[in-house]
Structure 1
């Protein structure tokens, strides 16, 4: 597994917020660390190229490699059917 390092601070003392984006190819949420405006591709924290799905789509299951890269230790709970329709995760 190759990951891109993601610091919690931007070097100027400000906290960086992770941006999760759903990939149209694998259907998982990935942490985006870079964007190529020419092609529309995004680089994720797990070093995969992410092609954004519709931004109106509900959140999906998070990529386990991206979760490790950002230190997310919460268990990922899949959204129920109603939650996916409404765009919410199950609590």
Structure 2
């Protein structure tokens, strides 16, 4: 389940209640799909800044529709800072060491 302040990522629930910039459930929905998108494409030992850059580039080039194969008309654009906040709260995330 997804609400304004939490995202379910596999078996893990990510608490986003401290991320005050999230003001619309469409942001959280897009953020949840961005986590899956990043996991499928970029979470292979890359540094956090690299992952954020790559997802940002994809969003700039292709729009929010790139996040899911499903048509989703209620996404709201989040900033890279919100994606970074969600990734930082992901206990299972393994990033580069340098």
TM-score by length of 1: 0.24
Higher share in strand: 1
Higher share in helix: 2
Larger RCO, structures 1/2 (Cα 8 Å, 6+ apart): 2
